[in-house]
Structure 1
């Protein structure tokens, strides 16, 4: 039997050639759990605003792995001891950090499953893969959970300067055409170092960090929290909740078997058994699209209107401002919607308010440390340079109201 070549090269539009570093990494990529990421859009409903934003979670995590390879190479060059086993653990941990995302990402976390983050589902998938692959993911799981004693390894997976952010800012900027997010990830990586097993940035990389944080702030306001994307996601959350309500009332809605399982059952973090994971692994964006194509003809006005509006981009109007909306304004818009044919029960699905927050740098969560030329470690906010970090550390809140046109 001919042995299969597992050391493949993938051509990526952002970085060029991405090398698969080991046969174990190849086996993980080939697994059905991982291949499902090809069918999960990286940016949810952002394509309603930016038509090019149709790239997938699959591309993103491969990009993250590529940046991790570059980081390991750079840190080793600077004398940081990273064994081959640790390097492989880092590649696997970053490769699998998003494997728990459901269709349209965050919309699923608020409607189909209850109070379960995608990180928790990712961990369950990793544990299941570890069992299948004979315990070869133990180190990757330990790094992912932050239990491995070398703290900088977890910081490369999840921190204010992790490989996840380094890829998604550059990749999402490319596919949306929003140039403000186009960071120089290679320059940033070249400025990283390790002291006392913690990730630090060399002093000459100060402005690269500032550019990175500014890019993140701008991408949130211009792309991730774009009012049309936010409105569309909120409509999708309400659509899925309505589907759950109708099924609980005995309605037989047309949908895929996988989606029906999550619509019919209440799934919490205690229910993430192997059987439930297998069902979750069958869910992707096509399940939601196919369901909406059927539901747009359903007699329930809420379900049919929301489905048709999302499919045909005839969305609710959304207004955003820096202070909350007065009760009388909400009541007035509800009365207008009722006058236009919605009942008192239906109107809450079409007139609603919410808030969105943006904070590029969170020093309470973790401080970015600068390694000065004389070898001292300094909190980035305490450097002599005049950076705009104070503004970037502030949490900006905006309020929105959605209502029918």
Structure 2
């Protein structure tokens, strides 16, 4: 039997808190899960620093990747199978892309990417196409198969329907992470009727569409996403931890460039700091490695690096105030000056952080990121863009919400410290007294 069609002698299942069971019958999927590159995702948290705010948020990219695979499997096996618009030859390709879509994420994902100008999708591509265990398994399906999987994840494939299952405004990726993140953070915002949405999904040539009868379930999904972003993903305490994490990595890089003599040499970071990171180096990095360095760097002579590491490890985070950069830039310049006079480096201890989200958008030609809208399938087979039928969605369509906060170390501004007058002025500007 060809490897692409090979089934396990007995179905394997993973017990899952969100989907109850994750089912695997395909030999290729089972083999991919067992690769070292996929197993590495167990050591990358799905929500980065959020565990410092919501103590249950310890789940991993591994959990999420299995969840996305399971949602896609259910859509194509239970809903799309036998429909003329769905090509069953794309089944394994779709399942592999769903399973591997987050394969290139690094430790603390987006913070890590920002500091070193990485893109996890680039690394996903390199893992799938490089000399890896994942690549060897995909090659067993066919010589061009790894490239096909990579193209789906990179959204460059001509198979738009397959792409939309994994990456669109209503896709398996979002449907899994909203429910999974709500479950592990203990909040109720991310819950919506996924069963209903799956039942009313229909394949079309270039995207998944939703039967009109399922519109209210989709409205609920979009509002769930909106609430999760502002109540969980952009939570100011998690962002404070992210700010400190980012500043630790910046400081370590700067010290390395200045030939600082580390007590604990950043061996795992050397190629990154030099801008010469290889795939092999990248795959050695996970959150346990990063946290080891943070633990050790608490003992460094450099006071900024050691202090920031102590703050992260012991959860002594920065406080914050609301801030409007457009109207308060003079205040920020004054605070910068006062921080320097107080002997506190504003580069590391006075940070503006911005959060921004666009909950739903319709197609706007020519924009940098053209979002494929959600289409409803009407009874007469006509397709209608969601916001034209839903007043709720219309009310938030195209409306970007942005929030800015100014982070600072409250303990450094205490009354009983040195340079009281300057610190009093800082506190007054921050409206702390």
Q: TM-score, normalised by structure 1?
A: 0.89
CA distance in 2, matches of 1:163, 1:256: 38
**C-alpha contact (below 8 Å) 1:6/1:22 kept by paired residues:** no
Shift of 1:291: 0.6
1:207 is paired with a residue whose SS is helix
Question: What runs of 5+ residues in structure 2 fail to find an aligned partner?
Answer: 1-7, 365-370, 411-433
The match for 2:402 is: 397
Q: 1:362 to 1:78 in 2, by over 3 A?
A: farther
2:22 is paired with a residue whose SS is strand
The match for 2:379 is: 373
Q: 1:283 to 1:325 in 2, by over 3 A?
A: farther
1:107 is paired with a residue whose SS is helix
Shift of 1:155: 0.5
1:181 is paired with a residue whose SS is coil
Matched, 1:246 2:255: yes
CA distance in 1, matches of 2:220, 2:29: 32
The match for 2:95 is: 91
Equivalenced residues, count: 388
Q: Which residue of 144, 153, 169 corresponds with 2:162?
A: 153
Shift of 1:231: 1.7
The match for 2:22 is: 18
Q: 1:373 to 1:266 in 2, by over 3 A?
A: same
CA distance in 2, matches of 1:93, 1:213: 24
> After the TM superposition, which residues 181-260 of structure 1 pair with which residues of structure 2 at under 5 Å, given as runs?
181-253=190-262, 254=264, 257-260=267-270
**C-alpha contact (below 8 Å) 2:79/2:198 kept by paired residues:** no
Q: What per-residue deviation string (whole Å, max 9, x for no partner) do you get for residues 274-299 of structure 1?
A: xx111111100011111111111111
2:208 is paired with a residue whose SS is strand
The match for 1:139 is: 148
Matched, 1:105 2:145: no
Shift of 1:121: 1.3
CA distance in 2, matches of 1:92, 1:257: 34
CA distance in 1, matches of 2:60, 2:353: 27
Q: What per-residue deviation string (whole Å, max 9, x for no partner) do you get for residues 300-340 of structure 1?
A: 12101110111111111112356646134324544554465
2:379 is paired with a residue whose SS is coil
CA distance in 1, matches of 2:244, 2:327: 19
CA distance in 1, matches of 2:292, 2:30: 31
The match for 1:296 is: 298
Shift of 1:358: 1.4
CA distance in 1, matches of 2:88, 2:393: 39
The match for 1:167 is: 176
Matched, 1:360 2:359: yes
Q: 1:281 to 1:336 in 2, by over 3 A?
A: same
**C-alpha contact (below 8 Å) 1:368/1:379 kept by paired residues:** yes
The match for 2:427 is: none
CA distance in 2, matches of 1:362, 1:150: 22
1:8 is paired with a residue whose SS is strand
Shift of 1:148: 3.8
> After the TM superposition, which residues 287-326 of structure 1 pair with which residues of structure 2 at under 5 Å, given as runs?
287-321=289-323, 324=326, 326=328
Q: 1:123 to 1:359 in 2, by over 3 A?
A: same
2:29 is paired with a residue whose SS is helix
Matched, 1:56 2:55: no
CA distance in 2, matches of 1:291, 1:49: 22
Shift of 1:8: 2.1
Shift of 1:132: 2.4
Shift of 1:28: 1.2
Question: What runs of 5+ residues in structure 1 fail to find an aligned partner?
Answer: none
The match for 2:349 is: 350
CA distance in 2, matches of 1:6, 1:351: 57
Shift of 1:251: 2.1
**C-alpha contact (below 8 Å) 1:18/1:66 kept by paired residues:** yes
Shift of 1:233: 0.8
Q: 1:295 to 1:350 in 2, by over 3 A?
A: same
Shift of 1:386: 2.5
Q: Per chain length, whose mean CA-contact separation is higher, i.e. which structure has more relative contact order (CA < 8 Å, sep 6+)?
A: 1
CA distance in 2, matches of 1:322, 1:209: 34
**C-alpha contact (below 8 Å) 1:323/1:398 kept by paired residues:** no
1:169 is paired with a residue whose SS is helix
Q: What per-residue deviation string (whole Å, max 9, x for no partner) do you get for residues 85-115 of structure 1?
A: 411111110111111111001011112x32x
**C-alpha contact (below 8 Å) 1:214/1:392 kept by paired residues:** no
